[in-house]
Amino acid sequence: MLIDEVLLQTGDLGGLRDFYTRVLGLNELTEAGDMLTLQAGRSRVSFRHAESGSQGYYHFAFDVLQNRLPEAKAWLTTRVPLIPDRSGIDLFHSDEWNSDSVYFYDPAGNILEFIARHNQTNDSDNPFGPTSIIAVTEIGLTCEDVHAMVAWLRGGLGIEVYADGEGEQFAPVGDEAGLLIVVRQGRIWFPDTGKPAVFAPLSLRLTTTPGRTYRLTGPPYQLNQEQSGSEHSSW
């Protein structure tokens, strides 16, 4: 599954524009006063100004080249503090996912991740930079009942739980190309952020393996299939 487009809300559009274009070096695709759209590898990330101010916060992850995570970490630490766990560790390895990750915040308090998935064959000898970002490959979905949400996603998208399986508090659904991180409301986001999962408005454009494209919006979450062959479109 591919995460083609992400639309989130923010009360700090100016701060996010500066962060994503100047700090992370992503290309800005729009200049609308109430909308910021960025190109992150093959994915598009948009933030819309929320009239009522901040609408919560989000977790999402960018894939980076699988052999460049140490360089990605060094590159990031010159630009933004990393999020450590309680022991001070700020580089995290997963045996189940065969991956390594670092985490950091944007100015709106969103929890971002660079993840290198070592099952992928995307090695490069080029210096790490913004073009080393492959795509958005994870986005958090907060819910009241993880099992019910997983069943709904399975039925609607035809995707399955990934790797370490489904629990009461957490379930990754999809595959290495795109994961919906289903978490129960109130669960603290890794790594020891102290930030509980909250409901926040979002809209996603997803493409599943058979080539079907869907819009997932919410909460409350709704799923609609798009016509075959439809192009990326503005929100």
pLDDT tens, residue by residue, 183-230: 999 999 999 999 999 999 999 999 998 889 999 999 999 999 997 655
pLDDT at 20: 98
pLDDT at 228: 65
pLDDT at 165: 81
**How is the chain classified by DSSP, letter by letter?**
-EEEEEEEEES-HHHHHHIIIIIS-PEE----TTEEEEEETTEEEEEEE-TTS-----EEEEEE-TT-HHHHHHHHHTTSPBPP-TTS---EEETTTTEEEEEEE-TT--EEEEEEETTS-----SPPSGGGEEEEEEEEEEES-HHHHHHHHHHHH---B-TT---SSEEEEEETTEEEEEEETTPBPTTT---B-----EEEEEE-TTS-EEEEEETTTEEEEPPTTPPP---
pLDDT at 13: 93
pLDDT at 192: 92
pLDDT tens, 136-159? Answer: 999 999 999 999 999 999 999 999
pLDDT at 191: 96
Predicted TM-score (pTM) of the model is 0.94
CATH number at 2-225: 3.10.180.10
Bridge partner list, 40: 43
Evaluate if residue 231 carries a pLDDT over 60.
Answer: no
pLDDT tens, 42-79? Answer: 999 999 998 765 568 999 999 999 999 999 999 999 99
